[in-house]
Amino acid sequence: NPLQGAQFVLAAHRVDQLPADEGAEVAFAGRSNAGKSSALNALTGHKGLARTSKTPGRTQQMVAFSLPPLRDVPARASVTVDGQHVSDWRLIDLPGYGYAKVPLEMREHWKQEIDRYLHQRRSLRGVVLIADIRHPLKEFDRMMLDFCFASGLPCHLLLTKADKLSRNQAAQALAAMRKSFPDGLHATAQVFSSTAGTGVDEARQAVAALLRQ
Ligand code: GDP
C-alpha cells in the first residue's frame, strides 16, 4: 500500500498555515458526511488518522498528512515529523462542505480558503472527490469538478457507501456518473466502500498515480 504510514502533520485554518508548498500533494474533498474521513482512513490503513463523526460539519480545518518516502521515487526533500522521516508528499484533507448548521460566516471563510488553495497551491497534483453513490453530484461537487476542468487538474471520484446498493445498481450509478462528465475533464471515477473495503486498492493506486505525475 503506497499510502501506508501516513501521519498527521498539522491542521490549518488558512492556506498560508499549510506545510511549505514543495513536493507533491493530493487533496481530498467532499460534502460533509459524504464519507471522506472514512475513505482517508481506509486508504492509509490507519483507522484513527482522520476523525470520523456522526455529527457532520464539526471538523472545519484543512489537515495535512505526510506520506513516508515512496520506495520507487526518491523524495525531493525530506522533513522530520515527531522524529520520523517523512517525504514531502502529502495528503490534504479539505474541510467538509455544505453542512447547513455551520454558520454562514464560516462557510464563506471555507469557500474562500478552498478556492484559494485550489488556485494557488503549486504542489497540488490532483483532487480526490468523495461523494455518496446514492446521491447525484451536488453544487459543491460540481464546483470542484468545474475548477478541475478549468485548471486542467485531474480529479478522481470515489463513489462511496457502495455497500448501500446492490452490485448492479452501483455499476449503473458509476456508468451514469462517467457519462455526465464534461468532455475534456481529466476525471476518473470508481465505486468505493470504506465499510466493505470495495475499491480500496484501486483508489490507492489512483492516488499514487496522481502524486507521481
Ligand atoms: P465525512 O464527514 O465526509 O468525513 O464522513 P465520515 O467518514 O465521518 O462518515 C460519515 C458517516 O457515513 C459515518 O456515519 C460513517 O460511518 C458513514 N460511512 C462512511 N463511509 C461509509 C461506507 O463506505 N459505507 C457505509 N455504509 N457508511 C459509511
- ipTM over 0.95? The verdict is yes
Tell me how far the alpha carbon of residue 201 lies from the centroid of ligand 1, in angstroms.
18
The residue whose C-alpha atom lies closest to atom 10 belonging to ligand 1 is 33
Residue 66 lies in a domain: yes
pLDDT band at residue 111 under the 50/70/90 scheme: confident
Residue 65 lies in a domain: yes
pLDDT band at residue 85 under the 50/70/90 scheme: low
Residues with CB under 6 A from ligand 1: 30, 32-38, 52-54, 56, 96, 160-161, 163-164, 193-195
Boundaries of domain holding 106: 7-212
Residue 1 lies in a domain: no
Residue 155 lies in a domain: yes
Instruction: Report the pLDDT averaged over residues 77-98.
Output: 77
Tell me how far the alpha carbon of residue 164 lies from the centroid of ligand 1, in angstroms.
11
The residue whose C-alpha atom lies closest to atom 17 belonging to ligand 1 is 35
Give per-residue pLDDT as tens, 36-81: 999 999 999 988 888 765 555 555 789 999 998 765 555 555 566 6
Indicate which CATH number applies to the domain containing 206. 3.40.50.300
Q: Please report, as a single letter, which amino acid is at residue 34.
A: A
Residue 50 lies in a domain: yes
Residue 36 lies in a domain: yes
Residue 51 lies in a domain: yes
Q: Please report, as a single letter, which amino acid is at residue 26.
A: V
Q: Which CA distances in Å does 24 have to 76, 123, 129, 174?
A: 9, 5, 17, 28
Give per-residue pLDDT as tens, 152-169: 899 999 999 999 999 999
Query: What integer best gives the mean pLDDT of the chain?
Result: 88
Flag whether pLDDT at 105 surpasses 70.
yes
Q: How many domains does the chain have?
A: 1
Flag whether pLDDT at 150 surpasses 90.
no
* Percentage of the chain exceeding pLDDT 70: 88
Residue 68, C-beta contacts closer than 8 angstroms, at least 6 positions apart: 4, 5, 6, 85, 86, 87
Residue 58 lies in a domain: yes
Residue 173, C-beta contacts closer than 8 angstroms, at least 6 positions apart: 133, 134, 159, 165, 191
Instruction: Report the pLDDT averaged over residues 19-29.
Output: 94
